[in-house]
Amino acid sequence: MTLDPRIAAVTDRIIERSRTTRAAYLRLIASERETGVDRPRLSCGNLAHGFAASGEDKKAIIAQRAMNIGIVTAYNDMLSAHQPYGRYPEQMKIFAREVGATAQVAGGVPAMCDGVTQGQPGMELSLFSRDTIALSTAIGLSHGMFEGAALLGICDKIVPGLMIGALRFGHLPTILIPSGPMGTGLPNKEKARIRQDYAEGKVGEDALLEGESKSYHSAGTCTFYGTANSNQMMMEMMGLHVPASSFVHPGTKLRQELTRAAVHRLTEIGWSGDDYRPLGLCVDEKAIVNAAVGLLATGGSTNHAIHLPAIARAAGILIDWEDLDRISSAVPLIARVYPNGPGDVNGYHEAGGIAFTIHTLLEAGLVHDDILTVWKGGMAAYGCAPQLDAAEKLEWVPAVETRDEKMLRPASAPFQPDGGMRLIAGNLGRAIFKASAVDPERWTIEAPARVFDEQDDVVRAYKAGELFCDVVIVVRFQGPQANGMPELHKLTPPLSSIQDKGFKVALLTDGRMSGASGKVPAAIHLTPEALAGGPIGKLRDGDLVRISADDGQIDVLVDPAEWAMRPATPRPRQRSGTGRELFAFMRSGASSAEEGGSAMLAAMEATLDVAEPADPPLIDNVEDRTIDA
């Protein structure tokens, strides 16, 4: 089907904006392929260090006749989603040997759990853990021992960090390998009710802990459709997974065979063959647009309004929130997964999941079908679901219909006509509003402001009974430069409680809200942030604020002359402890949320040669084709 002209227009807009930076990136990866560090260029001493502990793989690594895969792993056994990765390297080495290749763990990356740090001081390290992961990935791959990379990671900042780091080695073929979600536990709606009951003092900590432990109960990704599971959606939409592998449970035969397939496929797309598919060419402007389409069509996490621009920048691609807003207006919402609906990702998967989602988006002309994917068959292959045949071999079956229209619908009969993530802008700046999770009757809120500089102060005011009124809760000095932009998910239960009492309530913040945030209208990621001189720093208690996803506006309704004369609030005292002081350099140099909230990327771009060549060089074995015939 012909590509929707609105999607084509956004893609063209991104291509034109990114012309010089993308050309510089393509020059970089072409140079790295031709003259960068790889095994044949290592000295004997370098190489001996690299294979000293490789055991039975030593002879194959010395011979240099087959791919050596660098595994970058985010394993730890404190994160439920990453605990299954413990034995992956051992298994992957076996799978590599099956096709004459080898694999080594290139390095491990940190993997913090936002669920553990929500509302705690450690949450101020969360966003910058993404850049730390990117740096760690680059260190692992910098040894030049590898002709391909396998990335093991799932959750919030982990996948974006792995991607950012690996894209600087974009000449390497790379596949991301998920491990799947835990089984369904306590229904998410019941979990939210218990949290709200606790916020209202109706139940105690014993009941709260019991509810939480029934929700998060075993190995695997958390089952709500937050940032972690949205990550998986985007990697599928970019063609960087084995097709439809995201939501297969850990510890199953199917899961193991999908991992085997990923390792085998990596050896087929290396630079020594005729099907070379480097990461830097797989991730182009069209792939980034596909990721945004999938995110918006399924009501994914608002955190990716920060992460997707950061991933794109690592590949020389410049996107902004207006691009996301335009895509959102063109793409219908076809999934209802908690917090946008009652069911979880297991129910979504059973209803047809990612495979049907991609099938119907392709059918509607909303996805670029001509991108270079890691799997054979282009994007059409991602519209098929894997299963084991009678001989327990992998096969893929076209996912041509939904099995539960209460959770997943075709693009021709969506839940709502747009994707529900909107750019709102006005005299307070630019912000993101996730309309897909909010009742349309609450898309516009006009109420007096109550202004706070700390989320804990909001909770204290709530407990003191001060917030049971029509109110816009303002939480400022929460941006990347101020304190690392922690998620403010801790505020969801008290704000939900105020709303359920019949009051008009909204949140306005230069911080983030979790991918699990739901029914309360929220203008988040406000830029410029307070510490960068943003107008939110001038707000006072009682100022009338209007937040509207209906007309895309966010304004303070104060006399312009008075507003112009009003001074900004001084910066609050900086806090140390829990390692926060170590990240001061990342805060001080961070770019805006719309640019990805990264000091690392901002500094990197300042060093790049973006002189415009007539024709950026291509990498060997990759011509103008984008998918298989």
Task: Specify the pLDDT at position 369.
Answer: 97
On the question of a cis peptide bond just before residue 521, with omega within 30 degrees of 0, the verdict is: no
**The predicted structure's pLDDT at residue 575:** 85
Give me the amino acid identity at 397: V
- Across 483-501, average pLDDT: 91
- Mark residue 392 as left, alpha or beta (left: phi above 0; alpha: psi -120 to 50; beta: remaining): left
Rounded Cα distance between 504 and 514, Å, is: 21
What are the phi and psi torsion angles at 525 (to 5°)?
A: 60, 25
Token code pair at residue 415:
């839940």
Residue 514 has pLDDT above 80, yes or no: no
Nearest one of 414, 421, 382 to 304, comparing CA atoms = 421
| Contact (CB, 8 A) for 94 and 103 | no
Share of the chain above pLDDT 70, in %: 96
pLDDT at position 616, please?
57
Q: Which residue has the tokens 């359920």?
A: 500
Backbone angles phi, psi at 507, to 5 degrees: -110, 135
Instruction: Say which DSSP state 458 is in.
Output: H
| pLDDT at residue 498 is higher than 80 | yes
Q: Which of 39-48, 88-97, 135-144, 159-168 has the lowest mean pLDDT?
A: 39-48
Other CB atoms within 10 Å distance of the CB of residue 167 = 27
At residue 516, the pLDDT reads 52
Contact 594, 320 (CB under 8 A): yes
Give how far Cα 377 sits from Cα of 219, 242, 329, 622, Å: 32, 12, 29, 16
Averaged pLDDT score across all residues of the chain: 93
What does the DSSP 8-state code read for residue 70?
E
- Answer whether residue 320 shows pLDDT above 80: yes
What is the mean pLDDT of the segment spanning 236-264? 97
Identify the sign of the CA torsion 508, 451, 126, 185.
Answer: negative
pLDDT in tens, 142-194: 999 999 999 999 999 999 999 999 999 999 999 999 999 999 988 877 888 89
User: Residue 325: is its pLDDT beyond 90?
Assistant: yes
Query: Which stretch of 227-241, 348-362, 394-408, 569-583 has the lowest confidence by average pLDDT?
Result: 569-583
Average pLDDT over residues 610-626: 53
Whether residue 627 has pLDDT greater than 70: no
Residue of 288, 332, 330, 341 whose CA lies nearest to 310: 288
Instruction: Say what the pLDDT of residue 625 is.
Output: 38
Least reliable range by pLDDT among 358-367, 450-459, 608-617: 608-617
- Structure tokens of 267? 């050896």
Question: Binning pLDDT at 50, 70 and 90, where does residue 610 land?
Answer: low
Whole-number Cα distances in Å, 93 to 57, 70, 98, 145, 427: 9, 10, 9, 15, 56
Is the pLDDT reported for residue 562 higher than 50? yes
The pLDDT value recorded for residue 623 is 43
Among 450, 451, 454, 434, which residue's Cα sits nearest to residue 442?
434
Alpha carbons 251 and 316: distance in angstroms, whole number: 38
Q: Quick one: angle between helices 158-167 and 126-141, nearest 10? A: 40
Residue listed under structure tokens 């019991």: 210
Q: CB-based burial of residue 601 (10 Å sphere; 0-12 exposed, 13-18 middle, 19+ buried)?
A: buried
Using pLDDT thresholds of 50, 70 and 90, give the confidence band for residue 621: low
DSSP 512: B
Asked whether residue 445 carries a pLDDT value surpassing 60, the answer given is yes
Cβ-contact 447, 506 below 8 angstroms: yes
- Provide the whole-model pTM: 0.95
Read off the pLDDT of each residue in 38-45 and give the average, rounded to a whole number. 91
Say which range, 33-47, 126-140, 504-518, 536-550, has the weakest mean pLDDT: 504-518
Q: How far apart are CA 278 and CA 287, in angstroms?
A: 13
